[in-house]
Amino acid sequence: MIRVLKTGLYSSIQDLGRHGYQDYGVPYSGVMDVYSASIANILLGNDVHAAVIEITMTGPILEFNCETSICISGADISPKINGTSIKLNKPILVKSGDVVSFGKLVSGFRSYLAVLGGFKTENVMNSYSMYQGITKQSTLFKNDELLIDTSLKGLGMKHAAIKVIKGHTTNQIEVFKGPEFYKLTKAQQDILVTQGFTISKENNRMAYQLNEPLANNLESIITSSVLPGTVQLTPSGKLIILMRDCQTTGGYPRVLQLKEASINILAQKFTGNTIYFNLM
Amino acid sequence: MSYELTYKPFGERSVLIEWPLGIDENILSDIIVFKEKIKTKNIKGIVELRSSYNSLLVIYDFVIDTFEDVVFILNQLYLRKKQDINFSPKQWKIPVCYEDTFAIDLKEMATEKGISQESIIKMHSSRVYTVYFIGFLPGFMYLGGLNEKLYTPRKSTPRLKVLKGTVAIGGGQTGIYPSESPGGWNIIGNSPVEFFNPQKELPCFANAGDKIVFKPISLKEYKDIKTLVDAGVYQLESEVIDD
């Protein structure tokens, strides 16, 4: 069992998401950066579907009441055990009584803490991913007790080292044409895929809004399916990139669709960062 | 009846199939039949099928490299004659309490339209609505069939909190909020029924193609049904629709 002494800015339990219920209006949820979360699990020898803690910008303080091992990947939020710095992307043995904490954000935005065997918190519709209205909690609370499989001990690693790709920090976001891309004029299309866009302060697990508008006169569409990575264009010209917690349907024109790997890259960006859409 | 369909790639793993624009029962049943054909055929690699007013999204578990091949297979299936489709839509009777405690926008609607509150309730509860699809919120049904006299623009400022079970009208649509949420529609009642339960194997009772009718109930009946719903023993009335 792991006790949450402090929650950090926005920490939640996530796995690879809730699949197969989208026709009932249920969002996928799941880790924002699938790549980093998978690295953390793989380095421990876990299944990639194992539930991890997704940490956003500011880390939690966690007290371990058992012996296990952990691995942290993704953003570098200066992780520590009992005050001593530990490395990212490296399985680490944790003893009962140890306290894991975080410090300054050095790079990225979201960090993933995987534990041997994965977290065994509330499972709804075949997923541990927290989402308001589906699971009882949508984030971690102070004094939460997070269950894990304590019969698994020691370093369960299968991979001593995995080279983490550098491209994960690029500002080039690879995209495909969205279903309504062709409704834009040639000039609008060109602006969209050449100009830099900055991430507004409206960015969360549901969507990232961009600061620079794209002047347009497109009307809303008849409500249709949307996906994580869908770029919507609102009547006011605001661009919205849908993320993992997005609704299943929407009524704004879908001008671009992010490549799946690019959703992970975007998940590590935050307010003020510039991105470029790179049409595939 | 077969339509001229448009197939578009949507990201790396999906095909978006589009029907002619419009909210139309014939299109809906054509989408449902195609969806059932794909389901029955059990095409390898298809992990999800999602429908809306005039589209069907087909998601694969692999990256599609030859889009034309995937489309060819789907379209062959579309053009094949309808056979052994196991689809029997149901009609659900949904109790709704239209009394003042819930119907906070009903008075204003009645004044603006010059129609009595009783008539609005009668018009709203005497139609058979069609469930086009579920989206927006878990368990939110997109319903077609609202009486045009009841079309009402959305509120200029949405309410931050709308009660679970709220029955409302927004533009040319009517619907029920399955959970508490912000909302800009005009509130005319509340249903004690549960429209989404993540703990159930089938989290929603209704599916695309089903029909919904609203049955007015008193506050007393509302409370009685609510008690049964909370205890998990309420049985919603439904009947299979014969073609």
C-alpha A252/C-alpha A223 separation (Å) is 8
Number of alpha carbons in the 13 Å side-chain half-sphere of residue A47: 8
A224/B23 CB distance under 8 A: no
What is the pLDDT averaged over residues A98-122?
Answer: 97
As a whole number of Å, the end-to-end CA separation of chain A is 46
Residue A169 pLDDT level (bands cut at 50, 70, 90): confident
The mean pLDDT of B116-123, rounded to a whole number, is 97
pLDDT at B81: 79
Helix (H) or strand (E) holding B30: helix B25-41
pLDDT above 90 for B229: yes
Q: What is the CA radius of gyration of chain A?
A: 19
Query: Which positions 186-245 of A are in contact with B (Cβ < 8 Å)?
Result: 222-225, 227, 229
Nearest to A237 by CA among A169, A186, A182, A184: A184
Please report the pLDDT score of residue B112 as a whole number: 94
pLDDT digits (tens, 9 = 90+) for B145-192: 999 999 999 888 889 899 999 999 998 899 999 999 888 899 999 999
What do you get for the CA distance between the two ends of chain B, in Å? 16
For the question of an ipTM over 0.95, the answer is no
Q: Does position A154 have pLDDT exceeding 80, yes or no?
A: no
Residue in A21, A24, A122, A221 to test binding to B, most B beta-carbons within 10 Å: A24
Tell me what the pLDDT averaged over chain A comes to.
94
- Token readout for A131 is 């989402």
Contact A249 B48 (CB under 8 A): no
Using one digit for the tens of pLDDT, what is the confidence trace for B45-74? 999 999 999 999 999 999 999 999 999 999
Verify whether the Cβ–Cβ distance A133 to B55 is below 8 Å.
no
B135 and A25 within 8 Å at the Cβ level: the answer is yes
Give yes or no for a contact between B56 and B17, defined as CB atoms under 8 angstroms apart.
Answer: yes
Average per-residue pLDDT for chain B: 93
Short-list A22, A31, A30, A32, CA closest to A248: A22
Name the closest residue on chain B to residue A127, using Cα atoms.
Answer: B198
Q: How far apart are CA B47 and CA B62, in angstroms?
A: 10
Q: What integer pLDDT is reported at residue B115 of this predicted model?
A: 96
Q: Please give the pLDDT value at position A275.
A: 98
pLDDT value of residue A216: 85
Instruction: Determine the 3-state secondary structure of A71 from DSSP.
Output: strand
**Cα A13 from Cα B45, distance rounded (Å):** 28
What is the secondary structure of B215-238 as a DSSP string?
EEE-HHHHHHHHHHHHTT----EE
pTM: 0.93
User: For residue A17, what pLDDT is reported?
Assistant: 98
Residue A73 has what pLDDT? 96
A158 falls in which pLDDT band (50, 70, 90)? low
Q: What pLDDT, on a 0 to 100 scale, did the predictor assign at position A220? A: 77
Would you say residue A157 has pLDDT above 60?
no
Tokens representing residue A210 in the block: 């961009």
A216-220, B32-36, B153-157, B180-184: range with lowest mean pLDDT: A216-220
Burial grade of B239 (CB within 10 A; 0-12, 13-18, 19 or more): exposed
pLDDT tens column, A16-65: 999 999 999 999 999 999 999 999 999 999 999 999 999 999 999 999 99
Taking the Cβ of residue A24 and every Cβ of chain B, the question of whether any pair is shorter than 8 Å is answered with: yes
CA gap A106, A59 in Å, rounded: 12
Gyration radius of chain B over CA positions: 20
The tokens of A133 are what?
């209205």
Question: Which position has the token pair 């055990």?
Answer: A81
Whether A155 contacts A254, CB under 8 Å: no
Q: Taking residues A123-146, what's their average pLDDT? A: 96
Residue B117 pLDDT class (50, 70, 90 cuts): very high
Taking contacts as CB-CB distances below 8 angstroms, the residues of chain B near A223 are: 52-53, 135-136, 142
Q: Which residues of B touch A249 (CB under 8 A)?
A: 52, 133, 135-136
Q: What is the nearest CA distance from B213 to chain A, expressed in angstroms?
A: 20
Q: What pLDDT is recorded for position B167?
A: 97
Q: Is A120 on the interface with B (CB under 8 A)?
A: no
Chain A nearest-CA distance from B16, in A, is: 8
Check residue B72 and give its pLDDT: 96
Give tens-digit pLDDT for B71-113: 999 999 999 877 667 778 999 999 999 999 999 999 999 999 9
Stated as kind and residue range, the H or E segment containing A198 is strand A196-203
